[in-house]
């Protein structure tokens, strides 16, 4: 995955966040959104027990106790609070997190995601992905549009294991933004100089560009 693709995705996904929201950023590309918040004030929740996560610490601020869900060192901001894991997931499952941004392995045409298990590999980690998917008020999937082997991550039906029945609202990739509804999937924005026809050919489908 090229770095530029990751940053295109993160920058576009950050536009979906709004002042005052409680936001949980998954591991990987989602953590890059913090670089594109500009002047927006959002409150970052990390499921290991903090609301009000701040930027990475300087060397003299390092504290082994204080980490995010990706086990990276972090800081906390004025107004932050700490809580235990049961309370953290009550916040998540109970609908008190406005937006979750999750990295994905696959997204189906109706918005079902797979992001925790790769076929033919031991499946020994799920973390908070399934709780975030069913609990957050809005779920945005992010990721490069194609896997390392070149196959599209947007697929008619999942071939990887599902993270849950709840559908995501958006899939933001380096090529385009896909929106899911009861009517199916549509492209709402193209993010680079590819044409709609070229994009459809790469994906092997026929999608419309619908500007909202």
Partner 1 sequence: MNKMISVREINSLFKDGDQILVGGFGISGTPLTVLDELSTSEHKGFTIISNNLGDHGQGLHKLFIAGQIVKAIGSFFSINREAVMAWSRGELEIDLLPQGTLAEAIRCGGAGIGGFYTKTAVGTELAKGKEEKIIDGEKYIFEKALKGDVAIIKAKVADTLGNLTYHTTARNFNPMMATAGKIVIAEVDEIVEVGELDPETIVTPHAYVDYIIQSNYIKEGTDYLVK
Question: Which residues contact partner 1 (rule: CB under 8 A)?
Answer: 46-50, 59, 62-68, 71, 73, 76, 82-86, 88-90, 92-93, 117, 122-131, 134-135, 161-166
- From 16, 35, 47, 186, the catalytic residue: 47
User: Residue written as tokens 């609070």?
Assistant: 81
Say if CB 185 and CB 206 are below 8 A apart.
no
Residues contacting residue 189 through CB under 8 Å, at least 6 positions apart:
12, 176, 177, 211
Shortest Å distance, C-beta 210 to partner 1: 28
CB-wise, 73 or 152, nearer to partner 1? 73
CB-wise, 5 or 97, nearer to partner 1? 97
Q: What phi, psi does 64 have (nearest 5°)?
A: -60, -25
169 is catalytic: no
Integer CA distances (angstroms), 182 to 54, 64, 172, in order: 37, 46, 18
**Eight-class DSSP state of 71:** S
CB-wise, 37 or 66, nearer to partner 1? 66
User: Residue written as tokens 């994009």?
Assistant: 199
**Eight-class DSSP state of 29:** G
The closest alpha carbon to 208, from 191, 192, 185, belongs to: 185
Rounded Cα distance, 9 and 15, in Å: 10
Q: Which residues are catalytic?
A: 47
């Amino acid at each position: 995955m090229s770095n530029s693709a990751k940053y295109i995705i993160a920058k576009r996904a950050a536009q979906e966040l709004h002042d005052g929201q409680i936001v949980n950023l998954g591991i990987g590309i989602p953590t890059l959104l913090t670089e594109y918040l500009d002047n927006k004030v959002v409150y970052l929740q990390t499921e290991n027990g903090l609301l009000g996560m701040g930027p990475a610490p300087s060397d003299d601020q390092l504290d082994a106790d204080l980490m995010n869900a990706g086990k990276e060192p972090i800081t906390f901001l004025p107004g932050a609070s700490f809580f235990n894991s049961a309370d953290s997931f009550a916040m998540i499952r109970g609908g008190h997190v406005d937006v979750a941004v999750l990295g994905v392995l696959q997204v189906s045409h109706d918005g079902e995601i797979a992001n925790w298990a790769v076929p033919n590999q031991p499946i020994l980690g799920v973390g908070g992905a399934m709780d975030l998917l069913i609990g957050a008020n809005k779920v945005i999937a992010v990721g490069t549009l194609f896997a390392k082997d070149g196959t599209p991550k947007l697929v008619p039906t999942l071939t990887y294991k599902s993270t849950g029945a709840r559908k995501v609202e958006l899939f933001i990739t380096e090529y385009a933004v896909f929106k899911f509804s009861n009517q199916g999937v549509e492209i709402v924005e193209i993010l680079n100089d590819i044409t709609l026809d070229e994009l459809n050919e790469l994906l092997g489908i026929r999608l419309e560009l619908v500007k909202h």
